[in-house]
Structure 1
Amino acid sequence: MNITLITGASRGIGASTALECARRGMGVILTYNSDAEAAVSVVNRIRDAGGNAVALQLDVSNMSEIAAFRNDVEKALRQTWNVEKLSGLVNNAGYGLYAPIDSVTHAQFDGLMGVHLKGPFFLTQALLPLFSQGSSIVNVTSATTRVATSGLAPYASFKGALEVLTRYMAKEFGERRIRVNAVSPGAIRTQLGGGLSAEFESLLASQTALGRVGEPKDVALVIASLLTEDGGWVNAQTIEVAGGYII
């Protein structure tokens, strides 16, 4: 049984990825930070469709939670699926912040770094002994690492660092036959950063070759494929899923 852990999966891209992974026959452990009700809703949708999932609370930026969280993961694997190993991890948890460089505070900077870089680094480190040989890790980054957008400097910087970390993970984990890739979404209709206004969505669609903003499922399909044998020879790559945003 292949079991994938997806952080920040109570809504948006994470929730859509959890549903898509379950549709492909994977067991899913999904995390949420504060919205337990939304996480339970995703679990129930998976179970109603014949799959199985577990929701666990985690603040990926809180280093003091990670050791206990790993114990919770081990317990969930045994009790729910009677297995000892994970086969996939999606480092997806995150949030957006609009703040020009001259207004960014230390707290804002540290908060973004904790969730988008430090959290994925140390969570992956903690879970590494639980991965089976041939596992797949997907780090969710952002097209803002390629296209500079005013007001997103800290967010984009940490996503860019996560793309570099992806290649180093692929290099160091290769002996364990663990593949590591990044998926870089463009403009997606989610609640990240407060969602998209109709005017802003129209602007983004006009800058995208396929003429629309993306849906969470557009990204989830690519992430899920990287977690299966379909992506078995894809490694150390950043794949932009943006419909041709500002080509």
Structure 2
Amino acid sequence: MTPLKNRTALVTGAGRGIGRAIAQRLAHDGALVAVHYGHDETSARHTTQLITDHGGRAFPLHAPLGTPDDATTLYQRLDTALHHLNQPPTLHILVNNAGYNIRGGITDVTPHDFDRLMTIHAKTPLFLIQHALPRLPHGARIINITSAATRHALTTALTYTMAKSALNALTRTLAQELGPRHITVNAVAPGYTKTDMNKHRWNTPQQETTHTTHTALGRMGHPTDIADIVAFLASHHARWITGQTIDASGGTHL
């Protein structure tokens, strides 16, 4: 089964963690995947190798985000890469996944941290979508990775939660605006997921058990749990879903 055959996908921050799992799953479903990375070329090439070793199609795409003209640079390099692969400059699936967290509450946040988190999680996805519009055909898919932290009070990640909440708002508004083109825009909101970015929070069995008790399904999430939901939203089966934020947390803090 290759439901995404003849589709081109771009996954930002696809070198590790959730982004890597998403890239692998989309490639497994038949998509040609641009494995975007900002700085870690080794990890992005490893993701690409994992995909091609299993018969998928992928290529690494370097473009730092949060810099002047980042969207312009990214799409220029994407177009060049697709040209070299004899592919048209068309993008069927855009997954805004790249991000990171700076932990802290109201007394900890600094203007620099605030600006950086809002740029990466809200401003950058906005302009990546804006610049993608000429490349998106009728029926394309935009999927934003947000966070389950936006629906409960996580005092240790105030600015991160604010930035992800802005991404949720962007998702709803763009779904309405792009509806006439049958472009669906949805978000996926992971909860406690075992990735490199969060390993310091559950690097002992006791810490992992503590977080697990907050989930209805009684375990930590895995990147593949998120990737499967993204793949569904990217497929024809999700054609009647748009403007939604899908909670992918295993029932965290219900």
TM-score interval for Structure 1 and Structure 2 normalised by the shorter chain: over 0.9
For the residue of structure 2 that corresponds to 1:183, the secondary structure is strand
2-side partners of 1:200 and 1:150: how far apart?
18
TM-score in terms of structure 1 length: 0.97
**Cα separation, partners in 2 of 1:197 and 1:150, compared to 1, 3 Å:** farther
Determine if the alignment matches structure 1 residue 229 to structure 2 residue 236: yes
Provide the C-alpha distance between the structure 1 equivalents of 2:240 and 2:46, rounded to a whole number of angstroms. 34
Q: Secondary structure at the match of 1:201?
A: helix
The structural deviation recorded for 1:147 is 1.5
**Matched pairs, number:** 247
- For residues 79 and 19 of structure 1, the distance between their equivalents in structure 2, rounded to whole angstroms, comes to 22
Q: What is the alpha-carbon distance in structure 2 between the residues aligned to residue 129 and residue 76 of structure 1?
A: 17
1:60 pairs, out of 60, 65, 69, with 65
Provide the residue aligned with 1:102 in structure 2: 107
> 1:187 matched to which residue of 2?
192
The alpha carbon displacement at 1:175 in A equals: 1.7
Secondary structure class of the residue paired with 2:26: helix
Gap regions ≥5 residues in structure 2 = 1-5
Give, in angstroms, the shift of residue 241 of structure 1: 0.5
Which residue identity lines up with residue 41 of structure 1 in the other structure? H
SS of residue in 2 equivalent to 1:134:
coil
CA distance in 2, matches of 1:201, 1:193: 11
- Structure 2 counterparts to residues 201-212 of structure 1, below 5 A: 201-212=208-219
Residue of structure 2 aligned with 1:166, choices 171, 184, 189: 171
The answer for the alignment partner of 2:157 in structure 1 is 152
Distance, in Å, in 2 between the alignment partners of 1:120 and 1:73 is 16
Cα offsets for 1:174-227 (capped at 9, x unmatched): 122110000000100012245432233211101111111100000000011101
Instruction: Name 1:83's counterpart in structure 2.
Output: 88
Q: CA deviation at 1:22?
A: 0.6
In 2, Cα distance between the equivalents of 1:81 and 1:30? 18
Deviation string 1:94-144 (CA, Å, 9 cap, x unpaired) is: 001111211211111111011000110111111111111110000000000
**1:83 CA drift (Å):** 2.1
Partner Cα separation in structure 2 for residue 103 and residue 173 of structure 1 = 38
User: Which residue of 1 is the match for residue 223 of structure 2?
Assistant: 216
What is the match of residue 197 of structure 1? 203
Question: Runs of 4 or more off by more than 6 Å in structure 1?
Answer: none
> Partner letter of residue 97 of structure 1?
I
